[in-house]
Amino acid sequence: MLPFDVILFDVGGVLLTNGWDHNERALVLARFGVDVAGFEARQPVPYAAWERGAISVDQYLDATVFTEPRSFSREEFFSAMCAQSKVLPDGALPILKELAAGGGYLVGALNNEARETNVYRFSQFGLRGLFRVALSSCYLGLRKPDAAIYRCALDVLGRPAERVLFIDDRQGNVDGATAAGMKAIHFTGAAALRAELEGLGVFGRG
């Protein structure tokens, strides 16, 4: 018997770069000449709403970037945002591909991501073909590490919590999954993850 029924991956910081973290934001804002301090002061509330799927990317940009006339378009700015997404060096994408190809587990995403960037990242990096379920914040209307998102994920999956393994690079998100009864791994690199998965019996030691 396999040790789990479901293995869920975070995306940013585990498979891909975060894409729109503070470092990426600073690069794009500098390119377009947008004041970083002003943007960051406006950012938290609309960003949280965007990640929950409560507002669109245009509404997010209107609240954070296009608060004054700009010499560039929303499309140009969003394209630059998307360009910050890359495969994470020493990330878990090869492990995800191996698990997906094996077919023994229901493999999916449990990630915080806005709808438009989620669609881009899943398509651009082939994640849609690897994941059998996408429990993204923009679809559930909830964000990690809120307890409700883990309960909702378990309701959707219909599996006992102890049969679900979750992998995330943020300790707070790992703690939230653990509190919900899931087995959770704090991701620190591909080799360490593979060793932990072998220890759990997900992979043989070969």
Asked if residue 176 lies in contact with residue 144, where contact means CB atoms within 8 angstroms, the answer is: yes
Residue 204 in any domain: the answer is no
User: Helices 74-82 and 115-124: crossing angle, nearest 10°?
Assistant: 50
User: Helices 57-64 and 44-51: crossing angle, nearest 10°?
Assistant: 180
Number of structural domains found in the chain: 2
**Domain of residue 108, residue span:** 6-17+87-199
What is the per-residue DSSP string for 33-45? T--HHHHHHHSHH
Residues 62 and 92 in one domain: no
Residue 179 in any domain: the answer is yes
Domain of 64: which CATH number? 1.10.150.240
The domain boundary, picked from 47, 62, 82, lies at 82
pTM: 0.96
Residues 78 and 175 in one domain: no
Q: Which are the contacts of 169, defined by CB distance < 8 A and separation ≥ 6?
A: 10, 12, 13, 14, 186, 187, 188
Residues 186 and 167 in one domain: yes
Question: Rounded to an integer, what distance in angstroms lies between the CA atom of residue 26 and that of residue 40?
Answer: 9
Residues 74 and 136 in one domain: no
Q: What is the pLDDT along the chain (206 residues), one digit of tens a residue?
A: 899 999 999 999 999 999 999 999 999 999 999 999 999 999 999 999 999 999 999 999 999 999 999 999 999 999 999 999 999 999 999 999 999 999 999 999 999 999 999 999 999 999 999 999 999 999 999 999 999 999 999 999 999 999 999 999 999 999 999 999 999 999 999 999 999 999 999 996 43
Asked if residue 106 lies in contact with residue 138, where contact means CB atoms within 8 angstroms, the answer is: no
Residue 206 in any domain: the answer is no
